[in-house]
Amino acid sequence: MSPAELKESIHAVTPAHLKERLSGLGHPAYRADQVLEWVYSKRVDGFAAMTNLPAALRASLEEHFVFHALETVRVLGAEDITRKYLFRLSDGAMVESVLIPASPALYGEASDRRTLCVSTQVGCAYGCKFCASGLDGWSRNLTPGEIVGQILQAEKQSGERVSNLVFMGMGEPLANFKNLSLALEILNAPWGVGIGARRITISTSGLAPQIRELAEQSMQVRLAVSLHGARNEVRQQIMPVNRKYPLEDLLDACEYYAERKKQRITFEYILIREVNDTLEDAKALVEVARRVDAKVNCIPYNKVEGLDWVRPEESRQDAFMAVLKRAGVTATIRREKGHDIAAACGQLRRQTMAPAVAE
């Protein structure tokens, strides 16, 4: 391990922890609040900029902590439309974040909602058959500092504050539970990034035990479940995780979450032609959505290079939606905004890394 790796990320400490560390190093504990104010309110890039701190403290911080800023490798898109950022981490691994402005159609012209879609792992171990993120397997978990760093870097690059967060980038958030929890604490805290818990959505492929664990935590984050199949035989064809946690277990965990948090969860449902888009599938989806009182968000499949799946024609999407609507299920269809820049999660990274892989 290099000396830099032995240092703690300054983007991964809570006030309580920093106070303890500073006291241990012989500095007054109250300095921790000042340090975090420089980090999150003033957004400085290094300890040298913390001009109201004594030089000895700055030197000590320099010795034990590190600013691991993410490096921006590529940006696709432009102001007012979806922007995709490809970030390089300190070990050279790459992750993506996507900044999505409010849709005037949905939120009105005046809305300043800006949603950032963030990654939680490098690659993904869950191997869903339709997804680009899992194609090269799983490399590692992101650290709490790297999760927080995506928001800081996207805000720095865009010059805008992020109002909402969705954990729908690369990786399975609930498989990186410990690091996710600390990152959430920092992102939500008034001393940290200060994004309200109800403006944070965690998306999971359906890790039932971790859904229950998240339900036990006090933070009111929202839960989205990647369902993509409302019958086991359909779901397990495209999502191997369904063999470990079949629909019965998953739906029980969803019910538990909704009950504990007094919250409606969302089922994400990608429409893939001739895989999960029949009227029978729509009826099965009505059943499970009713059971959990969930909202449904349908997403026409985004083509992934190298995979054969395709989206159904619009008439077929409409027929599917009509079944849900007729049954009184709250359902929307998201006709992807980012579609033309580079489609779903994990794809920008693959495109950029492809030449290196081919060599």
The residues assigned a catalytic role are 96, 345
Q: How far is CA 272 from CA 53, 175, 309, 352, in A?
A: 57, 25, 7, 26
What's the N-to-C CA distance of the chain in angstroms? 29
242 makes contact with ligand SF4 (CB under 6 A): no
> Which lies closer to ligand SAH via its Cβ, residue 145 or residue 338?
338
Q: Hey, CA dihedral for 98, 101, 103, 106, is it positive or negative? A: positive
272-285: burial string, b at 16+ Cβ within 10 Å, e else: beebbbbeebbebb
> Which lies closer to ligand SAH via its Cβ, residue 8 or residue 336?
336
152 makes contact with ligand SF4 (CB under 6 A): no
Tokens of 192: 């940290």
Q: Cα–Cα distance between 124 and 120 in angstroms, integer?
A: 9
Q: How far is the CB of 203 from ligand SAH (least distance, A)?
A: 4
CB proximity list for 5: less than 8 A, separation 6 or greater? none
134 makes contact with ligand SF4 (CB under 6 A): yes
301 makes contact with ligand SF4 (CB under 6 A): no
Q: Cα–Cα distance between 49 and 90 in angstroms, integer?
A: 22
Contacted by 134, from ligand SAH, ligand SF4, none: CB < 5 to 8 Å by type: ligand SF4
- Residue 190 has a CB neighbour count (10 Å cut-off) of 7
Q: How far is the CB of 204 from ligand SAH (least distance, A)?
A: 5
226 makes contact with ligand SF4 (CB under 6 A): yes
128 makes contact with ligand SF4 (CB under 6 A): yes
126 makes contact with ligand SF4 (CB under 6 A): yes
- Residue 118: name the closest of 152, 90, 93 by CA: 152
Q: How far is the CB of 345 from ligand SAH (least distance, A)?
A: 5
Contacted by 168, from ligand SF4, ligand SAH, none: CB < 5 to 8 Å by type: ligand SAH
Q: Which residues contact ligand SAH by CB under 6 A?
A: 130-131, 168, 172, 203-205, 226, 268, 270, 299, 301-302, 304, 344-345
* Binding segment toward ligand SF4, per CB under 6 A, in 60-68, 131-139, 183-191, 207-215: 131-139
> Which lies closer to ligand SF4 via its Cβ, residue 38 or residue 138?
138
Residue position matching structure tokens 């403290």? 57
Among 95, 131, 207, 214, binds ligand SF4 (CB under 6 A): 131
> Which lies closer to ligand SAH via its Cβ, residue 13 or residue 168?
168
Helix H segments across the chain? 3-6, 15-24, 31-36, 55-64, 104-107, 144-158, 177-188, 208-216, 232-238, 241-244, 247-261, 279-292, 314-326, 347-358
Among 39, 124, 224, 275, binds ligand SF4 (CB under 6 A): 124
Contacted by 119, from ligand SAH, ligand SF4, none: CB < 5 to 8 Å by type: none
CA atoms within a 13 Å half-sphere pointing along the CA-CB vector of 227: 34
270 makes contact with ligand SF4 (CB under 6 A): no
Residues that bind ligand SF4 (CB under 6 A): 124, 126-128, 131, 133-134, 171-172, 205, 226
